[in-house]
Amino acid sequence: MDLVSVDIGGTHARFAIATIADDGSISLSEPETLHTEDHASFQTAWEDYRDRMGGTLPPRVSMAIAGPVGGEVIRFTNNPWIIRPALVKEKLGVEDYTIVNDFEAVAHAVARASEDQFIHMTGPEGPLPPTGRLTVLGPGTGLGVAHLYREPDGTYRVSATEGGHIDFAPLDSIEDAILARLRKRHTRVSVERVVAGPAISDIYQTLAAMEHKAVPEIDDIEIWTKGMSGEDSLAAAAVDRFCLSLGSVAGDMALAHGAKGVVIAGGLGYRLRETLLKSGFAERFRAKGRFESMMAGIPVKLIVHPQPGLFGAAAAFACEHAKAAQ
């Protein structure tokens, strides 16, 4: 069975043709990446992809969407598109569809990916626990969070969350200063304001102010580039601070979910993989007071599948429609 798998974030919409074999294995065609700002709506992006594929597409689609997916109208967290599920079949010309939160899709990918698709970051070595709850989170344009529950019989359940919007809790004077800067613009500061890709700009500007340095207003991509290359020591310090905060947030999510394992995902997480391993991420993940020894026993992995959103969207479609057929 073939379907169109779509992963829609704040900046990009990625499309691929997914093939689900009789044994349940999933393969993806070479993805096409479209910029959301170049299209007035998801429908026009769909039509663009259809034209690129020769004018025809499979009559099934699974969409992973950055934002809540319930209700009559789905609004994206970080782009202006909307989707009305009741009109999907008519507007796209499909027979079946699935719509899931983007990190719900990533959690499906975590459930289905092979062990060689993960890098060990901290905690006990070895595969992720075969049963129980796993926390899945990752920084991108926003901060996605989901959890996955593995049953003893090999089945699993996935739940989307809006964990990226919980309150940010600073742990030291630098994070106090970051919070103070953000609070000038936001009455309530969520963790997404600190551990998502665009947040590096506020971290960088906060560090510059602490050192009484006048630095130009450069965009987040340039800060990430200069920081990860080591070209700019202040940008490098901002990247390291980001990794510390991400470790704290990942540990908080694990506590909240009662997780037996944690998986870091997302494009930014993948690009940061070497930096995270050398940073204070692991120390901050464990730093939960009297629960430090418990946190040290939780394995943390990084998923390195090249397209977990697309792969997971296809897996979510297979899961939903297999259940519908029963």
> Residues annotated as binding site?
6-11
DSSP count for the chain of H helices, then E strands: 12, 14
CB atoms within 10 A of CB 16: 24
Q: Which residues contact 237 (CB under 8 A, 6 or more apart)?
A: 207, 227
Task: Determine the 3-state secondary structure of 138 from DSSP.
Answer: strand
Which of 8, 115, 26 lies closest to 63, judged by CA? 8
What the block records as the tokens of 264 is 């870091």
Sign of the dihedral defined by the CA atoms of residues 225, 226, 227, 228, in that order:
positive
Which of helix, strand or coil describes residue 7? strand
Which residues participate in the annotated binding site for ATP? Answer: 6-11
Lookup: tokens for 139? 């920084």
CA distance 31 to 43: 18
Question: Tokens for 197?
Answer: 């890709």
Q: In 151-289, where do the E strands start and end?
A: 156-161, 261-264
Structure tokens at 218: 């450069």
Residue with tokens 């992720």, as numbered in its chain: 128
